[in-house]
């Protein structure tokens, strides 16, 4: 099976005033194509920092990260942006949709950026398929504020998956949702994982959400303390 992600001894140190604060202390993680991984741990353990590093939003202080064969740590800022554009999809706790664009507009913007900013990348069939799978067909002309939290998160998931990235990084995607909507969104994540063999890493505090993943990683104090717990499918 193809390895999508390799993280070797990743470190991240933040400088706060004159004090160095270690957020990650040598994290190593491998992920195969089609895996659905949950990262759990208490607040401040470094989960989000790890996700931002894996997504190329931050640069590590040490170690190496390879996404789908491309070394993020050796890349320049522009190159990391390019890798993120081609290989990574993000889903955030706060949805982070563009409020001035409709659901479809948000997807098309992601397509346009994925295509390099030009007018290409418009794939109506794929967009419709994703919107249909996420049961958003009748919401495509609605703006985010006209949608419920669960619907907004489904649009965010649709936006992340519409370009078929190598990996989706989800940072507490159900953190702002009630249990009913959480279940719907998690089912959608699972559906995308099964149907498209989509590789997903999801940060969550919710054990029920984590239980839907194929593998669970536990973190504490900037380190992975349990690299392979939970369900093995």
Partner 1 sequence: MESLVANNIRQRPLRALVSIAGVALGVCLVMLFTGLSRGMSNDLQRRSSNLRAEIIFTRPGGMELTTSTANLSTKYADELLQVEGVAQAVPVIRYVFQGGRGFGFEQVEGVDWDAFAAMNEMRLVDGRAPAAVDEIVIDETKARNGNIGVGGTLALFGGKPYRIVGVYAPESGARVKMSLAAMQDALEAPGKCSYILVKCHDGVDPLAVIGRIEAQPSTQGNKIQLTRDIITNIEKTIPYLSVFLRALVGLSAIVSALVVMLAMYTTITERTREIGMLKALGASRGYIVSVIEREAFVISLLGLVAGFTVSFLAGYLINRAYGLLFEYGWRWALVAALIGVGGGVLGALYPAVRAANLDPVNALSHE
Q: Which residues bind partner 1 (CB under 8 A)?
A: 52, 55, 57-58, 78, 81-82, 84-86, 88, 90, 92, 96-102, 104-105, 108-110, 113-114, 117, 159
Give the shortest CB-208-to-partner 1 separation in angstroms: 26
Output 84 or 139, the one with its CB closest to partner 1: 84
Answer for the pair 53, 222: CB distance below 8 angstroms, yes or no: no
Give the shortest CB-35-to-partner 1 separation in angstroms: 22
Output 128 or 214, the one with its CB closest to partner 1: 128
Answer for the pair 55, 169: CB distance below 8 angstroms, yes or no: yes
Output 111 or 212, the one with its CB closest to partner 1: 111
Output 41 or 55, the one with its CB closest to partner 1: 55
Q: Count CA atoms closer than 13 A to 120's CA, side-chain side.
A: 4
Rounded-to-10 torsion of CA 187, 192, 194, 199: -120
Output 65 or 216, the one with its CB closest to partner 1: 65
Please give the span between the terminal C-alpha atoms of the chain, in angstroms, as a whole number.
Answer: 15
Give the shortest CB-152-to-partner 1 separation in angstroms: 13
3-state SS, residue 225: strand
Q: How far is CA 205 from the centre of its chain?
A: 15
**What's the sign of the alpha-carbon dihedral 219, 221, 222, 224?**
negative
Give the shortest CB-38-to-partner 1 separation in angstroms: 21
Give the shortest CB-99-to-partner 1 separation in angstroms: 7
């Amino acid at each position: 099976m193809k390895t999508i992600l390799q993280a070797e001894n990743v470190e991240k140190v933040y400088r706060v005033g004159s004090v160095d604060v270690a957020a990650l202390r040598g994290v190593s993680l491998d992920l195969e194509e089609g895996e659905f991984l949950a990262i759990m741990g208490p607040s401040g353990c470094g989960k989000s920092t790890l996700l931002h590093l894996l997504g190329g939003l931050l640069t590590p202080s040490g170690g190496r990260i390879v996404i789908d064969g491309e070394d993020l740590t050796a890349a320049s800022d522009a190159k990391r942006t390019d890798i993120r554009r081609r290989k990574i999809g993000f889903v955030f706790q706060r949805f982070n949709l563009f409020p001035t664009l409709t659901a479809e507009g948000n997807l098309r913007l992601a397509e346009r950026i994925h295509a390099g900013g030009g007018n290409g990348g418009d794939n109506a069939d794929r967009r419709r398929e994703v919107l249909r799978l996420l049961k958003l067909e009748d919401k495509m002309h609605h703006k985010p504020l006209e949608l419920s939290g669960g619907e907004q998160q489904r649009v965010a998931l649709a936006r992340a998956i519409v370009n078929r990235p190598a990996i989706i990084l989800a940072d507490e995607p159900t953190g702002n949702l009630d249990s009913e909507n959480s279940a719907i969104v998690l089912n959608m994540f699972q559906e995308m994982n099964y149907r498209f063999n989509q590789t997903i890493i999801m940060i969550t505090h919710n054990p029920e959400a984590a239980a839907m993943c194929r593998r669970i990683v536990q973190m504490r104090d900037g380190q992975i303390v349990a690299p392979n717990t939970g369900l093995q499918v």
